[in-house]
Structure 1
Amino acid sequence: MRSPIHLTAREQRITWELLELLHGSLDLHEVLRGAYGALCRLVPADHGALCVSLPGHPTAYDWAVADLPPELFAGYAELAPDDFVRSAVMKRPNVVLRESEMLPRAAIERSVMFRRSRELGVRLEQAMAVLLAVEPDWHGGVTLYRDRRRPFSDRERALLQQLAPSIAAAIRTCRRLGDAARRGDVLEAALRREGVEILVVAPPASVLARSAGAEALLERWFAPAERSAGALPAPLAGALGAAAGTPGAGAAPWTRRTRDGHLRVDLVPFAEQGRTLWAVELREGAVAAAPATWRGRLTDRQVEVAERVLRGWDNALIADDLGCTPATIKKHLQRVYDALGVPSRAALIARATARS
């Protein structure tokens, strides 16, 4: 256990400012940008990078601060195994390391990231970094660079080491409470829409939050074999996987229909801290019943066909539901029109609305 170092009056002022910035917001980017500015006054550096890995994707990062040419981090997931800084700190989480403790100088100069920085006109001569192991499935990182051969001192290393737990705590708070607040906004918006229940889902199928009536609705519409704790029912997980696999195409509504009604599910993506989550909106509809006055004029099968027309179903869907062919449905429907004296689907729906 390291003892806290004695801070000068100036260092103490900057440290208090940095701590206020770390805990003054739930916006991760705002927190880390503010912390980076204060940190560079405490530990002078020419460049820096502060990042958080995306949950479940240890080589994909949300770069909250990347005070370097953006080209350096292009395609970083593929470059990560060749980043000597990341490779070193991953082996010693929560411990501040300087470049001399990462690789011999000759090996650093042969490394992919060093040579790439030179090609981009940046001289990353010295580095100091720490991996912040904040959760089992994601982590944060702080790296400071100097473009002259002026090594980071023992005191500068000690200062960053002393601040690392506070930076990790701020990242954890932003991820947990900030994400929860954003999910809460999504849920609150859904609750303002009458008749809508909602799930907030991280692909492929993890349910992160749900509105009050969502679980009961899922139990009504999905068999136990289709459901599992904390996850989307299997049919919805398949629909979400298809939607997530075609970004920008727009997700078509998913619908399940029974004799007692229908369930419509809309899949709406939204961004949260560099990843895409999905709002799964659930709307339940009852059967559109034929007016009682029709029943004396139509056969039972004609009533079944008419009621499915009132739900907005086409002939193919009605045929599939009733176990016959679309041609048979077309014949039944024509007899419905004749019996009720209407010329078309639209007129049939209008007649039902008038309840005659």
Structure 2
Amino acid sequence: MSASMNLNSQEFMLRDRVISALNSSLSISQVLEATRAPLLELAPSDTMALCLMRTTPVLDFQWLVPGHPIPLLEEYASVSDHDFVRAPIFARPNVVLRDAEMLPRKEYEHSLLYQRSRELKPSLEHVMAILLPLGPDFFGALALYRTRRRAYPSRCATVLGSLTPHLVNAVRNCTAVQAMTTGAHLLEELHGRPDTAYLIVESSSREVRRSAHATVLLERWFAPSERHASGLPFPLKERLETLVRLDADARLEKNVWVSLQADGYRTVRFVELPAGEGPRRWALLMNEIPMSIPLPIDMRRKLTAREAEVAKYQLRNWTNEQIASELRIAVLTVDTHARNIRDKLGIDGRADLIYQAARLNKPV
């Protein structure tokens, strides 16, 4: 969250409730239902919806509406070509836009979507939306609606924008496990794949379960002297302890551990499992990635030629200073390209770029 944003105590409490709800399940429908009440109170709205979209080979979408249905969205396929929200949010991913920033009020009132919403009820008088890049050609669009003529103030957009990384993380985690709705189902799925390496540990670092391939990787990656008495290697134990201590905002950028070795990368993604009875559990998903990772085609076509070039060097784990020297551009220019790469690909940073590129080249 921006340090310059001042929240009052009520807003802080509601924001914490939203973040907690976003991490309450691996079922997207359950997450949305848990998030609905505090989010609609934090950014005062009457209803909300999430649209999951894939843009290739053709636009495909699915609307998820917690609470009361929105009739307009139930027949969205017939009016989707007239959606005035889509183009503005695709032009500015990760930025919350209010309807007044999308088109003039007269055009809004003459739009097919608005007219149809008045016919079907409720009338969607105002909308505020944000595009969440989840991966190459995969997006989520969160929309909040007001059914009365009361325009969204800029503060509502700022408050919602402060939740962007949490929204992306929650939707990405939920969609990654698709129809699986509990941590137990996730473990069953992982356990059924012999090439998957994972550990399940409690926040105290007590190991609960592991796959056979995890044992192979742990023995190859870490010497006996590098392991804690719990069996968890010290680097992974330290990262887990750090994640447990951090607040939700700071935790997002540290949930992937990457170690560069002579033969390639070793990565571990830390996924906090939904709360149940007893201590909170974490899944540690382990993977080995070759040193030379090609930039996947699905990623490359989302980037400009220069951004793709920067991404290629990031996949080699070059520093921004090294990239700037190689390309003969300023470090600040590399920083700008890196930020654009994050926004366009829906990734958290360099470690996540390496992890996601490996998934696309060879899904794990």
The TM-score, its normalising length taken from structure 2, stands at: 0.47
* Greater RCO, 1 or 2 (C-alpha within 8 Å, sep 6+): 2
* Higher gyration radius (CA): 1
Give TM-score, length-normalised by structure 1: 0.48
